[in-house]
């Protein structure tokens, strides 16, 4: 499940806070793959669960950043990208861990569901981020089904993803204020998960656990 948000989180936890972390996924037999493995290893991340795929390219992503606002857009390329299959996952990959960190995405949804299933069998908690507002908008039904499964313990969303999650459901109310949409999304995620977090860019975040809400 090595991907931008997941890998950044794992690397930050390992290098910045000394948390024992590892990556589970695949990389290509190319320069980018070797660079990924080297950089993660130097940051203290366990890469022993990564599978090298001969003949495949390591997944790549173009990051476009607005110089004035700092806003960013990610455009990943999955063409011929190395991927791990659901049938390659084993309980040993998860044994001894406390958390599984995944991102929601239709391209890898089957693998993600398989990983979550095994993780739960091994007693892990599951954290998921919502990837992008476009993914939430285009695949909301699959996302809601995953949230309603009860297997997601902690859910992260940025403001755009949060608003997209509840925009249609809340339209009849109506929620035409961004703050109200964000609050509605936090409440929605909080009903499905033990913890829910909506990140607010430079303004920090708002989190919910049960009836408790903190900023």
Q: What is the pLDDT of residues 164-202, one digit of tens each?
A: 999 765 444 444 455 677 889 999 999 999 999 999 988
53, HSE (Cβ side, Cα atoms, 13 Å): 18
Please tell me the distance from the alpha carbon of residue 215 to that of residue 197, in angstroms, as a whole number.
10
**What share of the chain in percent tops pLDDT 70?**
93
Residue 196 in contact with residue 186, Cβ under 8 Å? yes
Residue 135 Cα distances to 21, 22, 31, 89, 203, angstroms: 27, 26, 29, 25, 24
In this prediction the pTM is 0.87
Contacts of 92 (CB under 8 A, 6+ apart): none
Place of tokens 């569901």: 113
Residue 154 Cα distances to 102, 193, 200, angstroms: 10, 6, 17
Q: Which residues pair with 62 in a beta bridge?
A: 75
Indicate where the chain has its CATH 3.40.1190.30 domain(s): 1-84
**What is the reported pLDDT for 175?**
42
Indicate where the chain has its CATH 3.40.1190.20 domain(s): 85-215
**What is the reported pLDDT for 169?**
59
Tens digit of each residue's pLDDT (9 = 90 or more) over 70-115: 777 777 777 778 889 999 999 999 999 999 999 998 778 999 999 9
CATH class for domain 1-84? Answer: alpha beta
Q: Which fold has domain 85-215?
A: 3.40.1190
């Amino acid at each position: 499940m090595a991907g931008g948000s997941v890998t950044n989180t794992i690397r930050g936890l390992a290098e910045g806070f000394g948390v024992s972390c590892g990556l589970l996924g695949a990389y290509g037999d190319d320069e980018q793959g070797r660079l990924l493995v080297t950089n993660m290893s130097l940051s203290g991340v366990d890469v022993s669960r990564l599978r090298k795929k001969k003949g495949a390219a390591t997944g790549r992503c173009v990051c476009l950043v607005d110089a004035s606002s700092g806003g960013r857009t990610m455009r990943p390329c999955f063409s011929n990208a190395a991927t791990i299959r659901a049938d390659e996952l084993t309980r040993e990959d998860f044994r001894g861990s406390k958390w599984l960190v995944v991102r929601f995405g239709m391209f890898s949804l089957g693998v993600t569901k398989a990983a979550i299933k095994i993780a739960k069998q091994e007693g892990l908690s599951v954290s998921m981020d919502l990837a992008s507002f476009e993914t939430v908008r285009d695949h909301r039904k699959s996302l809601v089904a995953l949230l309603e499964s009860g297997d997601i313990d902690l859910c992260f969303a940025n403001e755009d993803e949060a608003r997209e999650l509840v925009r249609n459901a809340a339209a009849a109310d109506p929620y035409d204020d961004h703050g109200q949409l964000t609050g509605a999304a936090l409440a929605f995620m909080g009903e499905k998960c033990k913890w829910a977090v909506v990140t607010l860019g430079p303004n920090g975040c708002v989190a919910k656990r049960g009836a408790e809400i903190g900023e």
